[in-house]
Amino acid sequence: MQTFPQLLLKHAAERPQAPAMREKEYGIWQTIGWQALATLVEHIACGLHQAGLKRGEHMVVIGSNRPRLYASMLAAQSLGAIPVPLYQDAVAAECVFPITNAEIRFGIVEDQEQVDKLLEVQESCPLLTNFWFDDPRGLRNYKEAGLDSLDNLIEAGAKFAASNPGFFKKEAAIAQPHDVAAMFFTSGTTGNPKGVVHTHLSLLDRSEAGAKFDKLTSSEDVLAYLPPAWIGQNIFSYAQWLICGYTVNCPESAATVTIDLKEIGPTYYFAPPRVFEGLLTSVMIRMEDAGSIKRAIFKTFMDVAKKVGPDKMDGKSVGFADSIMYALGNFFVYGPLRNNLGMSRVRVAYTAGEAIGPDLFTFYRSIGINLKQLYGSTETAVFVCLQPDNAVRADTVGVPIDGVEIKLDDNGEILVKSPGLLKEYFKNPQATAEVKTADGWYRTSDAGFIDASGQLKIIDRVKDVGRIKGGVNDGAMFAPKYVENKLKFFQHIKEAVAYGDGRDQVCVMLNIDMNAVGNWAERRNLPYAGYTDLAQKNEVYQLIRECVESVNADLSRDTLLAGSQISRFLVLHKELDADDGELTRTNKVRRGFIGDKYQPLIDALYGGKKEQYIETVVKFEDGRSGKVSATLKIEDAKTFAPLKVAA
């Protein structure tokens, strides 16, 4: 197994003119080949060497997906340094702990926004002395000491490389597979984030295993649009990119991702469930606005797709009549829909990070998109379980892939042994000892089991699985994330937070999807002044109640979770936001934090109240704080008697 820089040089030698990356700038796609990329990495590495970056030292990288930021990470690794990508949408205060913890002196950032963050935290991070920016817009008059453009660093590095032609390759050859390659800070649902230390071997071994599993080749096209600080993006658009040598495409901006997706037509695609939910919501909104004939055609062929599409995707035979109807549906509906979603060329699509609703999962597979689930985490270098083609199910996350062993602890916790396990949590031996056993097993904190087909099923986080205490469902299992994910399938619900462990009933706090509900309200001539006003409309509550009661009806058919039906709910007056600490940077609910922050609402839900006043401090994008207040309605939902399953 090689290292990241060695793989780069291998591609540059074997396929110098093949496209390595594309970047959309001013509406035009610019291509950089492998040899040109290797030269860019060499110049940045030589510039960083002259600046004083040392082997084993950490270097922060903050920004969106940009070829020169990827090149900067490769340059740091070529010198034996360790890139530490941070989330580009994190506020300045969130950068202080990682930069201080990793004792970072140098940084490479994308633009003025990221420069301003580092300048803001410099006083709290005295070791941070030098950083370079990729995009010079807005920075002409910045004269701060230690701040310079990446262009100047590259120019200085090019001069050094010209006078020291063997330096770069010599440095790149020193690294060994077991050397530390990168560090990723977990999003941290509680407390400070932890630095997950990975080696070249752990990242590349799992990337190669995943590539072999799905038969990836150098002809794949990938759209890099998720945060580089998230290990999932780093694996798909960095580690596997260097393993396979395919082309990574960087969109112009977050606002143009949908357009860029259609232009590129990726063959290998990854997105968290939230993205797939958003795409489906936009489709349903457009169909609701369509004429009656189009709606009828859509409904007719979607019924056909739901009936036979998943079987066709799994290679199973269907009847002649169904095959004819599906072919017609593919011509009139599914093909145009895939094209509109930018997925007409997708050969393999994955989702992970959160459980995906079975109906949502089935929708994509029914229209001919090979959507699969995977299971893994930052600590396992993503790839633990993958779903094989022709054996894909909505309620599992696949089978352990090559090199992975799985066993269950007495409490149902999943334990993993894999070459992709983290080396350690940086400067945190206690946390490392808590998740890594003496004999090499990693404690995932997830509860689950292996089903009869050999696929892994995830129930919830071990610490979150609880029991109802008191009432008619006393002793029933409560899995909050399972309930939340069923609610979030509905296009009108964006986020849900469920409570019930140790209580006599389940109550939830919800966010509506502003786009979906706003469109729904406009078509009914229902006026509203903004999110807070819309969220408290009686008509909206009736709409959400129908969703909640539909989930309850579904839960009543589940022998294990029938007791988790929702008794009461409210719609929050604001959207849950990572800037307000309510979500992680990967958009996971911080249930404990939300419970403390909105304790009066939880007390009102369980106290039988019909409404509750709440005032909340919020942070705006410019860093200012303000307050949002409202009197929230609290309503009861119909629950259903558990259905007895026939023996």
DSSP 176-231: -TTSEEEEEE---SSSS--EEEEEHHHHHHHHHHHHHHTT--TT-EEE--S-TTSH
Quote the CA–CA distance of 513 and 575 in Å, as a whole number: 9
pLDDT of residue 647: 38
Within 10 angstroms of residue 341's Cβ, the number of other Cβ atoms is 21
Residue 249 and residue 221 in contact, taking contact as beta carbons nearer than 8 Å = yes
Question: Residue 62 belongs to a domain with what CATH number?
Answer: 3.40.50.12780
Tens digit of each residue's pLDDT (9 = 90 or more) over 593-609:
999 999 999 999 999 99
Mean pLDDT value across the chain: 93
In sequence order, the 6+-apart residues with CB closer than 8 A to the CB of 121 are 92, 93, 95, 96, 99, 128
The number of distinct structural domains making up the chain is 2
pLDDT of residue 355: 67
Angle at 199 between CA 193 and CA 201, to 5 degrees: 140
Range of the domain at 498: 466-636
pLDDT of residue 225: 94
Q: Tell me, yes or no, whether 275 lies in a domain.
A: no
Q: Tell me, yes or no, whether 296 lies in a domain.
A: no
Q: Which helix (H) or strand (E) holds 637?
A: none
Q: Tell me, yes or no, whether 394 lies in a domain.
A: no
Of the residues 222, 240, 270, the one at which a domain ends: 270
pLDDT exceeds 60 at position 80: yes
Q: Tell me, yes or no, whether 442 lies in a domain.
A: no
* Band of residue 489 on the pLDDT scale cut at 50, 70, 90: confident
Of the residues 244, 270, 296, the one at which a domain ends: 270
pLDDT exceeds 80 at position 423: yes
To the nearest whole percent, how much of the chain has pLDDT over 90? 76
Q: Tell me, yes or no, whether 300 lies in a domain.
A: no
Of the residues 216, 242, 270, the one at which a domain ends: 270
Instruction: Give 63's DSSP letter.
Output: S
Q: Tell me, yes or no, whether 352 lies in a domain.
A: no
Tens digit of each residue's pLDDT (9 = 90 or more) over 571-590:
999 999 988 989 888 788 88
Amino acid type, 488: K
Tens digit of each residue's pLDDT (9 = 90 or more) over 107-146:
999 999 999 999 999 999 999 999 999 999 999 999 999 9
Tens digit of each residue's pLDDT (9 = 90 or more) over 214-259:
999 999 999 999 999 999 999 999 999 999 999 999 999 988 998 9
pTM of the predicted model, to two decimals? 0.84
Q: Tell me, yes or no, whether 452 lies in a domain.
A: no
Mean pLDDT, rounded, for 388-406: 91
pLDDT of residue 646: 41
